Amino acid sequence: MPTLAHRTGESSSPPPVDLAIAALAEAQHGLVKTPQLRAAGLSYNGISRRAKRGALFRRHLGVYSLAPGRLSREAEFLAAVLAGGDGAALDRLASAELWKVWRYQAPVSIVVPSRRTIRGIEVHECRNLDPRDVTVHRGIPVTTVERTLVDLTDTLIAEELTNIIHEAAFRRRFSIPATRAAMARANGRHKLARLDEAIDLWLAGSAGLKSRLERAFLQLVVDAGLTKPIPNIHIAGAEADAWWPDIRLVVEVDGAESRAEADDRRRPVARPPARRSGRHGPALHRVRDRAARRRRDRRTRPGRMRQMRTRAARP
């Protein structure tokens, strides 16, 4: 943050307006809005002069930071919300990223009560967003986990929603009754069946899709007209990437996150022949060899999964 201006050699305190602005920015990830600057005592001309001399840095229309350079991820999120005006909140995958229930960097997106366009930001209009579906997390107005799941039914498939539920439950942020209530408030949403399916998958023990390659493999299955498998579920003491219980078939997908982008460019291909894991165990196919044996995710241990499901079902 730039040093507040004062005369060289003097020990006098900074002017009250500078102190007020610094206090505002400290509480807002280094950001301030034009109305806040005006309330602190700056005129519009004063704001312009400070921006010209490098004491304020414009991020969006009416939104400034006190420091130059790239914003932190949270400051980037809050800058978008502040640019959205009153009633704006972070939403969709950006919300999921803030809640740490989405493993990839998401496009910055917000929901607003009236239509507007903001450069570089996805803006979604919702005139009747219920106040119960918005909260503040890390100083940023954001849709709740439950409302985020509802909104993401527009763009994600059930198995992707299942993974968000899985991650949220691990962080004790998922409640089935609260999610059902958010679904009931979302009048007119046409794809809520995806969320119903995702909840059922999670209750059945699935952790959902964990990588882009698993998503690509599932698309191959769907395109082939085959029955969809249950993704990432424990079978015989080990986690199976894809499980067809009716034919007792397991497919292992090479899902190393460090190579996810490269794997996206290579469509996954199952490699026969199958082998049996035990005399009467399931048939096992592999989709590309693994570079190393995957460590068991402590979030998907059977005992841990049972605890999370019991907790999430509570009212």
Average pLDDT of the residues of the chain: 85
Report the range of poorest mean pLDDT among 90-94, 145-149, 186-190.
186-190
pLDDT of res. 313 = 67
Pick the residue with more confidence: 230 or 303? 230
| Phi then psi dihedrals of residue 65, to 5 deg | -110, 160
Average pLDDT over every residue of 142-163: 98
Say how far residue 194 (Cα) sits from the centre of its chain: 17
Q: How much of the chain exceeds pLDDT 90, in percent?
A: 71
Alpha-carbon torsion 235, 240, 243, 247, what sign? negative
**27-60: pLDDT as tens digits:** 999 999 999 999 999 999 999 999 999 999 999 9
Mean pLDDT of 86-115: 97
Query: Tens of pLDDT along 210-246?
Result: 999 999 999 999 999 999 999 999 988 889 999 999 9
Answer for the pair 49, 61: CB distance below 8 angstroms, yes or no: no
Angstrom distance (rounded) from CA 282 to CA 273 = 13
Count how many Cα atoms sit within 13 Å of the Cα of residue 290 in the half-sphere of its side chain.
Answer: 14
Range 38-46, long-range pairs (CB < 8 A, 24+ positions): 41/16, 41/17, 42/17
pLDDT value, residue 275: 44
What integer pLDDT is reported at residue 304 of this predicted model? 57
For the cut 70, the answer to whether the pLDDT of residue 301 exceeds it is no
Per domain, the residue ranges of the chain are: 16-65, 73-202, 208-296
Total-model pTM: 0.81
Q: What is the mean pLDDT of residues 137-166?
A: 98
Half-sphere exposure of 206 (CA within 13 A, CB side): 26
Q: Can you give the pLDDT at residue 314?
A: 72
